[in-house]
Amino acid sequence: MFDQLSERLQSTLSDVRSRGKLSESDVDSAMREIRLALLEADVNFKVVKAFTKTLKERCLGSDVLESLDPGQQVVKIVNEELASLMGGTGSELAMASSGPTVILMAGLQGSGKTTACAKLAQFFKKEGKDVALAACDVYRPAAVEQLVTMGGRAGAHVYERGTDADPVEIATWALEQARSERRDVLIVDTAGRLHIDQDLMAELGNIRKKTRPHDVLLVVDAMTGQDAVGVAESFAEVAEFDGVVMTKLDGDARGGAALSVKAVTGKPILFASTGEKIEDFDKFHPDRMAQRILGMGDVLSLIEKAEQQVDEDEAEALQEKMRRDQFTLDDFLKQMKQVRKMGPLSGIIGMLPGMGAMKQLKNADVDEKELDRVQAIILSMTPQERANPGLINGSRRKRIAAGSGTKVQSVKQLVKQFDQMRVLMKSMANGQMPTPQQMANLAGGGQRTPRPKARRR
């Protein structure tokens, strides 16, 4: 959709190198690009204004002007400034020294509070804590049922008293229960409310007063636009929230709202919700978010994900095989399964830097069913065929196609692409990066084949 900022900056500043010096007008045009990119990412207009002013001053500094690659320098500075604006490294929740830690969740309607509550419960569950939820959204039809169901999935106890009780009373009662039942954590779900709705905001203030939470979290939709600032300011005033949960970060929104909220309220983003499943919930990394806003990819998260899923020794062995060109369809199958464990491929591609620029790849949105088909084809081969795809002749192709419920043509194509990939892997394993054209050849052509996982360096 939008070119990556880093590339736009590079091209804006590319001719500077030949002249050897960065002029003020070069910096101005770079700032224009940055301003546009940040606005497209939904960073608040006023934040953008202040930010580009600071940036400009730094970029006019002598070390940038005289550096060999000013474009690269400017990108680096932008990245640093963004990360520091977002709060440097991650922050932590405050936990109770004794008794249950109370966490109050608040936000606009549809920002994803109920889901975030359940996900947070699951997050604490994984740490071995006894978690309970309090259902204080008595307004939205079936909100209580939703929390009961989702809380159950997370393995958390849900305190609910239907929709007739007063939310402040439910919260107070739930806290008493949590105390006497010696829960470790109590997460209080509240109804979505508009920040200008005085009655409901007063109610939220009351829940806060009665339950004296250790942490108040504001749930913010990553797709929020310019209004994020106004919303955050109002909630900060009434609920004095301590941190933010960003939701729906699995979409393609750049999430500039995160930056705006942090810049205006000074409160850190603590958690990120990144998918439909209850375990798609993680601590937030400000530096990585900065890169996302700039469209620079999120290599760190990718590597982390890969590390969780991929066995170190196995990865070594595979790499050796790639180098020696002994990579078989069996290895390919194994790898594909590992990569798919990391989540939907479209998400993984988004984390790779430079992918935004490759139009062919971006449009070739990965069809998971296609991958199922590829798996079926390989599984229909004999071990000999998997080790040596050269064996596969016409009649074998027919058998494989029948066995996997696909067409002979698909089998043929898969083998052909596997051959291409093997060449590519060999060069990658030997330290050469593939050209975008090579990558696109693999991804394009109707048949989508997953690429090997990102190599760790």
Partner 1 sequence: MATSWQEIVDLGSRQPGAAVAVQEEAPEARRGVFRRLKESLSKSRQALTEEISASLFDRIDDETWELLEEALILADVGAPTTAAVVEKLEHEVESGAVPMDGVAVRDRLIEILAEVANTGRAPIDLSAEPAVLMMVGVNGTGKTTTIGKIAWHLSREMGLSVVMAAADTYRAAAAEQLETWAERAGAELVRGEADSDPGAVAYDAINAARARGADVVIVDTAGRLHTQSNLMEELAKVRRVIQKQIPDAPHETLISIDATTGQNGLRQAKVFSEAVEVDGVVLTKLDGTARGGIALAIASDLGIPVKLIGVGETLEDLRPFDPADYAKALLAE
**Stretch of 93-101, 135-143, 304-312, 334-342 contacting partner 1, by CB under 8 A:** 135-143
Question: If we measure between CA atoms, which residue out of 362, 327, 449, 262 comes closest to residue 3?
Answer: 362
Write the CA distances from 43 to 88, 98, 255, 283, 299, integer angstroms.
Answer: 18, 40, 8, 21, 22
Q: Which of 90, 99, 155, 225 binds partner 1 (CB under 8 A)?
A: 225
Cα(69)–Cα(72) distance, integer angstroms: 5
Tokens of 99: 């008794």
Q: Which of 3, 7, 10, 36 binds partner 1 (CB under 8 A)?
A: 36
The angle that helices 256-265 and 228-239 make with each other, rounded to 10 degrees, is: 40
Smallest separation (angstroms) from partner 1 to the CB of 208 = 21
Smallest separation (angstroms) from partner 1 to the CB of 445 = 18
Interaction between residue 373 and partner 1 (CB under 8 A)? no
Interaction between residue 195 and partner 1 (CB under 8 A)? yes
Cα(377)–Cα(405) distance, integer angstroms: 8
Site string for partner 1, 242-261 (x = CB under 8 A): ------x-xxxxx-xx----
Show Cβ contacts of residue 376 under 8 Å, excluding neighbours closer than 6 positions.
404, 405, 406
Cα(443)–Cα(448) distance, integer angstroms: 5
Task: Centre a 10 Å sphere on the Cβ of residue 398 and count the other Cβ atoms it contains.
Answer: 12
Q: Which of 33, 42, 287, 385 binds partner 1 (CB under 8 A)?
A: 42
Smallest separation (angstroms) from partner 1 to the CB of 371 = 11
Smallest separation (angstroms) from partner 1 to the CB of 137 = 11
Site string for partner 1, 51-90 (x = CB under 8 A): ----------------------------------------
Q: Which of 54, 84, 89, 109 binds partner 1 (CB under 8 A)?
A: 109
What phi-psi label fits residue 155: left (phi over 0), alpha (psi between -120 and 50 degrees) or beta?
Answer: left
Interaction between residue 11 and partner 1 (CB under 8 A)? no
Smallest separation (angstroms) from partner 1 to the CB of 129 = 22
Q: Are the C-beta atoms of residues 267 and 243 closer than 8 Å to each other?
A: yes
Q: DSSP of 31-50, one letter per residue?
A: HHHHHHHHHHTT--HHHHHH
**Stretch of 78-86, 143-151, 412-420, 434-442 contacting partner 1, by CB under 8 A:** 143-151
Q: Which of 31, 41, 270, 289 binds partner 1 (CB under 8 A)?
A: 41
Task: Centre a 10 Å sphere on the Cβ of residue 441 and count the other Cβ atoms it contains.
Answer: 17
Show Cβ contacts of residue 446 under 8 Å, excluding neighbours closer than 6 positions.
none
Beta strand pairing status for 243-247 and 215-221?
parallel
Smallest separation (angstroms) from partner 1 to the CB of 64 = 26
Interaction between residue 363 and partner 1 (CB under 8 A)? no
Interaction between residue 143 and partner 1 (CB under 8 A)? yes
Interaction between residue 142 and partner 1 (CB under 8 A)? yes
Cα(47)–Cα(439) distance, integer angstroms: 38
Footprint of partner 1 (CB under 8 A): 1, 36, 39-42, 44-45, 108-112, 140-143, 145-146, 149-150, 194-196, 221, 223-228, 230-231, 248, 250-254, 256-257, 276, 344, 346-347, 365-369
